[in-house]
Every structure is written in C-alpha cells, then in structure tokens.
Structure 1
Amino acid sequence: MRIILTRGLVISFPSMPFSVYILYSKKLNRYYTGYSSDLKVRVEFHQNAETRKFTAKADDWELFFKLICTSEHQALSIEKHIKKMKSSQYIQNLAQYPEMTQKLLSKYP
C-alpha cells in the first residue's frame, strides 16, 4: 500500500497478506468460509459475533484451515470456489491434501 502526501512524499506500508480461512464449530457441525487481511482479528470477530450473524449461532468456532494468498482478488476467488463446492468433504480434503491447495493457488493466480 502506498500513501502519497501533499508535498509529493510517498510512504509505503507493507500490505497485509490476505488469507482464506475456514472455521469449524463442533456444536453446529458446520464450516464457515471467509477471507481477510487480518486473520486474528477476523476470527475474534466471529467468536464474538452479533446475534444476526451466522457465526453467532455457536461460540466454539475454531480455525480449521487457512490459505495465504498473494492478493485480495485471489483470496476472494478461492473463497467463492470453496463456497460453490458446498461440500464438507471437499473442505476436509483441502486440509488433508496439500496438493489441492496448490491447485487452487494455480487456478486463481
């Protein structure tokens, strides 16, 4: 990320890497897929979600899987792909077989 100040000075800040993450709740036996540039803050948000949010239905969300991406676009594309699969078996396979994650990173550069 670059910020250009009024006198032409440029300050560069390193961009936060985006991650696709999957949370799991034993209580609901459900997965939740998302992406974020600050995974720690996002997981805390889900653990303390407001009642109108899906993740508020349980209080035992744990990080099941994460994949670090090169850009927000890549993270969003992979998140959509995982959600489109609509399969807990697919999600379990992602965690079990590293080659699946490599294929996703290659498919969505």
Structure 2
Amino acid sequence: MSTFFVYILFSSKINKFYIGYSQNPEKRLEFHNSTLNKIWSKRGQPRGLKTSISFESNSKALKTGRIIKNLER
C-alpha cells in the first residue's frame, strides 16, 4: 500500500510557506531547492521542510492539502 504526504516547506528568504503533495517529500524538497527548478520556487530557495503528514489514500492527502492551503488565505 502506498503512502501519500502533504508537506509544508518554509522559505526564510521570502518569509513564506509552501504546501505541497507527494509520495516522497524529501525528494520534492530536493527538487524545490535544486537548480533544475527554475520556475516555481527559485526565488524562495533555500526552503526547509517544516512538517509532513502521511495518509493512506491519495484522496485524503489531496483534501487535507486543499484545506491547509485555504487556511493560509
């Protein structure tokens, strides 16, 4: 059975959080901070992993991610 994660990153450089979804949050963090990522989060590099929450289903992870993103507004 696969595990899905909602992860929260923080950039002290721009003082912002980023909420994402992945089956491998550590690998996503590497991508967010890599030179390959030139579009979405380059200006917020470096980002650090604040937390990740695991879920047994894809749908629960996506729903929770949306709820957290809406709290941010």
Q: Give the TM-score taking structure 1 as reference length.
A: 0.61
1:41 to 24, 27, 41: 27
Q: Give the TM-score taking structure 2 as reference length.
A: 0.87
Q: Specify the code of the residue in structure 2 equivalent to 1:85.
A: L
Over residues 49-72 of structure 1, what are the superposed CA-to-partner deviations in whole Å (9 max), with x where a residue is unaligned?
Answer: 52221x111222000111111111
Larger radius of gyration: 1
Q: Post-superposition, which runs of at least 4 consecutive aligned residues in structure 1 deviate over 3 A?
A: none
| Larger RCO, structure (CA 8 Å, separation 6 or more) | 2
Contiguous gaps of at least 5 residues in structure 1: 1-13, 88-109
Over residues 55-99 of structure 1, what are the superposed CA-to-partner deviations in whole Å (9 max), with x where a residue is unaligned?
Answer: 111222000111111111111000000011125xxxxxxxxxxxx
- Give the alignment's Cα RMSD to 1 decimal: 1.4
Higher relative helix content: 1
Which residue does the alignment assign to 1:83?
A: 69
Contiguous gaps of at least 5 residues in structure 2: none
Deviation of 1:40 (Å) = 1.6
Q: Specify the code of the residue in structure 2 equivalent to 1:52.
A: I
Higher relative strand content: 2
- State, as a whole percentage, how many aligned pairs show the same letter: 32
